[in-house]
Amino acid sequence: MSVTPMRRDGGPARAGRLPRAERSERTTELLARAAAAPVGSEERRLLLEDVVTVNMQVADAVAQRHARRGVPTEDLQQVAYLALVRAVQNFDPAMDRDLLSYAVPCMEGELRRYFRDHGWTVRPPRDVQRAHARILGAGHSTDRLDAAGVEKLAADVEESVEVVREALSARGLIFVVSLDQPVGAGELGISELVADPNDEDQRRSEMRLMLAPVLRQLSARDQQVLTWRFVDELTQREIGERLGCSQTQVSKLLQSVLAQLRGALADAG
């Protein structure tokens, strides 16, 4: 649902970009007037709408920080606007703090949750998603990390080495390649080289045909471990408790099984 504040005459409202001092002064004035208005009154509602409108440029800036990560900027702006509306409605001026010191963390948190729940084309376990978000937030370069580099990164983001390795391997799952992107040096897009992308039955059939024989090659234990990890979303520690082994052993087992699957699929292709 699109979230756009409305003018009092019913048309869409959008404040111009105000200097920080002017925006802060205007926000403080509107919040004070809203606090003095009767709770639930039309006057209070309209004043809070004005607060949202004045601060929409801040929501735009917060959304822009998360751009170029495979999600349309317009969607990110809508998430930030919704969070801003809720923050304005819940803000208590009596707490003697600036609105944005409360609203910006609310918007950041809502955007992180949006990426966690909607940004993955294939969703990995939650601890891997959390580690991926922390790695992105830390701003470290993750290209060609050796073992020592992975250990340092894990310490910086306060995650286990095993989970960080999985998060680094999962980076490609959050981005979607355009079907119009040319293949190689030719002019044909991906969509012109594959079957109808809207044929869901065909897509599922192809996936089953490719995966079924590969999965049958795995032992019953390996199949169960994959189910626990990627279907039930258990942590490696929880899987280790069920198997009676350490988290490190589970990590090595998963890496071995996934490498076996990748190799089998590559041979099949």
- Angle among Cα 31, 35, 39 to the nearest 5 degrees reads 130
**b/e 13-46 (16+ beta carbons within 10 angstroms → b):** beeeeeeeeebbebbeebbeebeebeeeeeebee
For the entire predicted model, the pTM comes to: 0.44
pLDDT of residue 54: 93
Q: Contact, 162 vs 124, CB < 8 A?
A: no
pLDDT at 176: 45
- Report how far residue 146's alpha carbon sits from residue 62's, in angstroms, rounded to the nearest whole number: 33
Question: What is the structure's pLDDT at 118?
Answer: 61
CB of 133 closer than 8 Å to CB of 116: yes
Please report, for the chain, the start and end positions of each structural domain, with discontinuous segments joined by +. 20-118, 120-176, 217-269
The rounded distance, in Å, linking the Cα atoms of 246 and 230 is 19
pLDDT, residue 8, reads 41
Q: How far apart are the C-alpha atoms of 3 and 52, rounded to whole Å?
A: 11
| CATH hierarchy code of domain 20-118 | 1.20.120.1810
Helices (H), the chain: 20-36, 42-54, 56-65, 73-90, 99-118, 126-138, 147-157, 161-169, 200-216, 220-230, 236-243, 247-268
Per-residue pLDDT of the chain (269 residues; tens, 9 = 90+): 344 444 443 333 445 577 888 988 999 999 999 999 998 899 999 999 999 999 999 999 998 887 766 567 888 899 999 999 999 998 888 776 789 888 999 998 888 877 766 655 455 677 776 777 777 666 666 666 777 878 888 888 888 888 888 777 665 555 444 444 444 444 444 444 444 545 555 555 565 666 667 777 788 888 888 888 887 888 998 899 998 999 899 999 988 888 887 776 666 55
What pLDDT is recorded for position 178? 46
Please give the backbone phi and psi of residue 127, each rounded to the nearest 5 degrees, phi first: -65, -30
In angstroms, rounded to a whole number, what is the distance separating the alpha carbons of residues 237 and 140? 26
First vs last Cα of the chain: how many Å apart?
A: 42
- The Cα 10–Cα 16 span in angstroms is 18
CATH for 217-269 is 1.10.10.10
123: its two tokens: 């969703």
